[in-house]
Every structure is written in structure tokens, then in C-alpha cells.
Amino acid sequence: MPNLHEQYDVALLDLDGVVYIGGAAIPGAPEALQHARRQGMRLAYVTNNASRTPAAVAALLKDMHVPAHPDDVVTSAQAAARLLADKLPPAAPVLVIGSTALRLAVRERGLRPVSTAAERPLAVVQGYGPGIEYGSLAEGGLAVRAGALFVGTNADSTLPGPRGTQPGNGSLLQVIAHATGTAPLIAGKPEPPLHRESVIRTGAKNPLVVGDRLDTDIEAAYRAGAHSMLVLTGVSRPADLLLAPPRLRPTYVAATLDALLRPYPQVARHDEGFTCGGWNALRQASGQLALTGTGAAIDGLRALCEAAWDATGATGATSATRATREPLTARDVDAALAELGAAGLRM
């Protein structure tokens, strides 16, 4: 079976939690990406962050020894600008609330950034920027109330900061939304515009979405009909995976980006559940997941995911039992996760 980097032409990589955390590269990530690129896989860095230009993001990545050029970076600001350009006439005035990067993205699409409602903008676009003031939000509210299209770069309710979790653009969007009764169109993950922008810019024919969050990266891939890989270096944890509904289930589960460089291990179904590596996973008639075996802990998680997501239930269950089986709960997965924790998997 070929390595993953040979099966897909482009990796659409999230950044925070996948490539770096808190401004520092995740151990092994730069080397894995360097190797994947040398082997012919195109890398694109796809971010909901609209506050930095692609050039600034590429420079940050290069400082971490991650192979990147400005053309490899796709931001929610660019996706929002294309969304606006598709709906507005050329050179239309757009009231921009956010960073210089967002204004540049709007201008690059042939639209005219403005700052006040008095300039009669046809749209308002809002992205995160540390200097957003009440006056800008008030102007945006006036324009939206007057009929301007309302677009948000992304709807992330929070963002990580040096002192902890802070309000993100999704929270700030609620100021205008609440004041006007108008919900914004969203360009960023998990909505389709950012994935579409990424495919257009990279020319991807068979992309692999790589992320650390089920509710943004993986759901975005699901909505786009693309394959995805969750890495466990960021936000989503093993318990989240096992309890995930179909729209949040990745095609592949990996501990780190090194998984791009190897064939993906097969998970086999048999009469006693699912096996991967030296592990066997089964959903028992009681509803609980059971895991036995030894080997790489990530293989145990892969087997567990198949057992948790299997719609037919435990071996020997009747059709009626399968149809009425209750969804998994946190209690149902606790014992199996304890086995993985003992095997060294980060919970």
C-alpha cells in the first residue's frame, strides 16, 4: 500500500495544533513536511486566522524550518474576499473591520475597502484584529442595518493567547449580529468557501485535509467530500473521536504528521470486533467499548474508532438490538481509553 503522501496530490494543513503550538514548531513536524515535499506532495497551509498576510505566515513558518512560500498560504481573509467578489460588482465599496491583511485581501479581489457607513458600502466584512474598536463595529452595524451584505472571515468563538483562551472573531461578530438581527455569511472552516479557495489556489485534484480539530478541519473536509486526517497534537482528543457523529469523523487518525510518510495501517473486521496492529477492539452487548492487546497505542485508537463508529453493534446482536442500540457515552469509552493511556497515548 502506498504512503499517504503518494495517495494525495496536496496536503491542506491547518497550522495551530498541527504545524506549531504557541509559536513553536511541533517536534518532528518540520522534518515530516520537508520529506513530504521532497517526495512530490504539495503543501498548503490553510488557516482561519485573518489577521496575518500570507507573506507573514510564510515567514513565520520558514523561521521554524517549515517549507513555505506565500503562495502556499491560504487564509480566511482570502476566502472572504472571493466570496464578496462573487456577489458584488467590480470596485464595489466594502467596509472592512479587522486587520491590514483583510483590507489587502479585499483589494486584491478588485473591491474597494472603506471605513465608514457614510461611504455606502455594499458589504461589511469582519475578521479578527487586536485593534478592533467600538467605532468600527458601530460603522459596520449602521451599514448592515442599511442593507449591506454581512460577511465574517471565520466564526471561531475563541482563540489561544499567551495568557489563555481569548474571544475570537465568532464572538466579536455577535456585536453586529445582535444589534442588527442579521447573521453573517462565514467564509472560514468548517464552511465551504475556505476549502474552495484552497483548491482553486493549489489546483488540487485529490487533496488531504489535515487538522487537529474535529469541529472545524474535519467537518470542513466532510462538507467538501474530501478525505481528512486528524493529528492528536492539538485540540481534539481520543474521547472526542470515539464519540464523534459522522460529520466529524476523519478518514485517518494519526499521532503526528509523520503518518504522511507511511502507509496507513489497515483496520480489519472479524467476528470478535476490529483489529489494528496488535490490538483488538469490540463494542460489547452492554454498549461499552473493550480493548485488548499490545503495540503502538495509535493503532489501538484506530481499532477503537472503527468499533465505536460501527453501525451494526456487537457480534451476535440481533437486528432489533442493533437498531435500538443507544449512542456511545463518555462512560462507555472510559475503560478502553484507560488501556490506551496506559500504553502511552496522550489523552
Question: So which residues are the catalytic ones?
Answer: 14, 16
| H-type alpha helices, 146-191 | 169-180
Of residues 117, 191, 113, the one with CA closest to residue 152: 191
Grid-cell match 503522501, residue found = 5
Burial 102-128 (b: 16+ CB within 10 A, else e): bbbbbeebebbbbebbeeebbbbbbbb
CA distance 6 to 278: 26
Q: What is the dihedral of CA 30, 212, 297, 34, to 10 degrees?
A: -20
Q: Give yes or no for a contact between 79 and 153, defined as CB atoms under 8 angstroms apart.
A: yes
Q: What is the dihedral of CA 146, 149, 150, 151, to 10 degrees?
A: -160
Strands 123-126 and 158-161, bridge-based pairing = unpaired
Grid-cell match 467590480, residue found = 90
Q: For 16, which DSSP code?
A: B
